[in-house]
Structure 1
Amino acid sequence: MDQHINEQANIDRIWEIIEKARVCMMATHFSEGMRVRPMEALPERDENVIYFLTDKRGLKDDEVEIRPEVYLTFVYPNENVYLALTGEAFVSRDPECARALWDRQQDGWLSGPDDPNLMAIRVELWRAEMWDGPLNCAVADFQFAKARLFGIKANLGETDKVTVELF
């Protein structure tokens, strides 16, 4: 029972970081390797998925359709948390899906929810790895400076690393 409670707490923490960070780096595969780009996450915790609205002229849809495995990395420096997610991506060219996900934050990227180049990518999550550090950035900076000054190892406190299967 205790392990189940810890696992649920880790899952809740993972979704909390996704929701707080909002922007991640999405890595997709292409013929010459991997391509990484920043993307705004639209998480749906109840579905265990993250949606992304994007411009279909950016080649992400072609890359996802050839090899759907993607990697997402979130950094939330306010709490010194790093999150790496693996999942399978699916392209939706359904304008209704994109319209349903649209909010005013996307106005800077596309002309609106009826933009003909708007599409959605749905990522079904498989695995999460999270490094959750106890220190804020100011304390970490102080510890690194002290370590350099005195030639010692930085004391960053304990960092919890968890791996969670999400499917």
Structure 2
Amino acid sequence: MSTRNYNKDTDGLEKIRALIDEPKIVMLATQLNKTPFSVCPMTLQQMDAQGDLWFFSSRTSGHFSDIQEDNRVQIIYTDEVKNKYLSIYGHATHIVDQKKIDELWNPALNTWFEGKEDANLALLNINMENAYYWDTSQNKLVSFFKIVDGSITDNTPDLGEKGNINMQNH
């Protein structure tokens, strides 16, 4: 597996966009200074043009209170079908913005909220600082055959790419 690192520039943002190519359920970890830290599944709604991640949240949720105390978060993204994996570290901010809520709202959210006017509805905005990725987008069968071929021929198989994406401004 080759290693390629990125910075917060067009290439770094595009690499993250390529890994997160659709709204997806991720694991959001809060209380990073405690063992065990707190985790909950969240649906990523959007990665905006600046690279911020957007989620809907309830003001009564545990992670909402956790972020009020310590806004450091870790997001774990997995896509087993496409063999893409991403760990993101950043800072979360609670935002109440009706225009952004209208932009991101979809009817499936009625499962958790009483419509867009729900008094407990808020947005979480995650400003990414750092990410680490594994992109083995070749399917598992091809990777298996490359590993077998490498063991027979002493060729080092190219099984994909991994690396760090530094999202802090320099």
TM-score band, normalised by shorter chain: 0.7 to 0.9
**5+ residue gaps in structure 2?**
149-155
Q: 1:129 to 1:32 in 2, by over 3 A?
A: closer
Partner AA of 2:24 in structure 1: R
> Paired residue for 1:110, among 92, 109, 113?
113
Structure in which a larger fraction of residues adopt helix: 1
Task: State how far apart, in whole Å, the 2-side matches of 1:11 and 1:84 are.
Answer: 14
Q: Are the structure 2 counterparts of residues 21 and 156 from structure 1 closer, same or farther at C-alpha, using a change threshold of 3 Å?
A: farther
2:60 to 57, 61, 81: 57
RMSD of equivalent CA atoms = 3.0
Please name the residue that 1:130 is paired with.
133
Contact 1:23 1:41 in 2 (8 A): yes
2:13 aligns to what? 11
Aligned amino acid, residue 121 of structure 1: L
C-alpha distance in 2, partners of 1:73/1:125?
Answer: 13
1:156 and 1:42 mapped to 2: Cα distance? 36
Q: Report deviation, 1:92.
A: 1.8
Aligned residues, how many? 154
In structure 2, the CA distance between the partners of 1:120 and 1:163, relative to structure 1 (3 Å rule), is same
SS in 2 for 1:46: coil
Change (3 A) 1:156 1:39: farther
Letter in 2 for 1:18: I
Provide TM-score, normalisation by structure 2: 0.75
Gap runs ≥5 in structure 1? 148-154
CA offset at residue 19 of structure 1? 3.2
Q: Which amino acid aligns with 1:87?
A: G
Give the secondary-structure state (helix, strand or coil) at the position aligned to 1:65: helix
Asked whether 1:84 is paired with 2:74, we answer no
Q: TM-score, normalised by structure 1?
A: 0.76
